[in-house]
Amino acid sequence: MSDTHFGFSTVDEQAKAERVRGVFDSVASKYDVMNDLMSLGLHRFWKAYTVGVARVRPGDVVLDIAGGTGDLARAFAGPAGARGLVVHTDINEAMLRQGRDRLLDAGLVLPSLLCDGESLPFATGSFDLVSVAFGLRNMTHKEKALAEMARVLKPGGRLLVLEFSKVAAPLAKAYDWYSFNVLPRIGRWVAGDGESYRYLAESIRVHPDQETLKAMMKTAGFGHVDVHNLSAGVVALHVGIKC
Ligand code: SAM
């Protein structure tokens, strides 16, 4: 088995999967409030922008990978309508349960499926749109995951990857200070877990930057890839069209 990153640490691949599971088991019940606190509410804007770019239409069949507490699945369900289908998935049972409960609270009965983004249990060419928000960073084999996302899309279908990315140089120092000093403290006070939020900050630094991810998506089978920088590159939305 090869080694891989877990934040700034190098661990074997099995250990990474277990530690990522540990992070999300630990934060699941406080995930939404932490998202609002840590991003100062900006994650709502990043997701609303993604939903706008997605332009889901009535009858569309949509897959949300690493869907967690269900923000994107919930937003896609309305426009997909009764003729469409939105499938909410995650590898982590605790996160998936939180998401399923929130979807039910919003009056939405969607399929919530436990599945690994690196090995999708869907037939080739099943979906009009695939989304993955803040999930790709946690996957061990990103090339494999992107190839799976391409496989399950119909030709001409679109993949939306919303993820932390490389921030513009003038903001880098302030952003590092916030990430390594403030985030773990908020994690400790609110979620009782500073380490998971240190992992968050570290995993962002070892994630591919905008251009690298764009190249990876092209290699995975996306003929055209657009990159939308949000909040000066703190986050980027990559939109790939399957050839
Ligand atoms: N998409 C949600 C959002 O934007 O709020 C949740 C994002 S949360 C930061 C990352 C999610 O990725 C977690 O729910 C975690 O369980 C999931 N995840 C990690 N590795 C995964 C994998 N290999 N396949 C599917 N989901 C995975």
CATH of the domain at 126: 3.40.50.150
Tell me: the pLDDT tens digits for 74-120?
999 999 999 999 999 999 999 999 999 999 999 999 999 999 999 99
Q: Which residue from 24, 76, 207 has its CB within 8 A of the most atoms of ligand 1, so it is best to mutate?
A: 24
* CA-nearest residue, atom 14 of ligand 1: 68
Where does residue 115 rank: exposed (0-12), middle (13-18), buried (19+ CB within 10 A)? middle
Count of the separate structural domains present in the chain: 1
116 Cα–ligand 1 center, Å:
9
User: pTM here?
Assistant: 0.97
pLDDT value of position 83: 98
Give the distance (Å) from ligand 1 centre to CA of residue 96. 9
CA angle 20, 30, 119 (to 5 degrees): 35
Point out the residues of the chain with pLDDT beneath 70: 1
pLDDT at 7: 87
Please choose from 30, 46, 91, 114 the residue to mutate so as to test ligand 1's pocket, defined by most ligand atoms within 8 A of CB.
91
Parent domain of 132? 3-242
CA of 90 from ligand 1 middle (Å) equals: 6
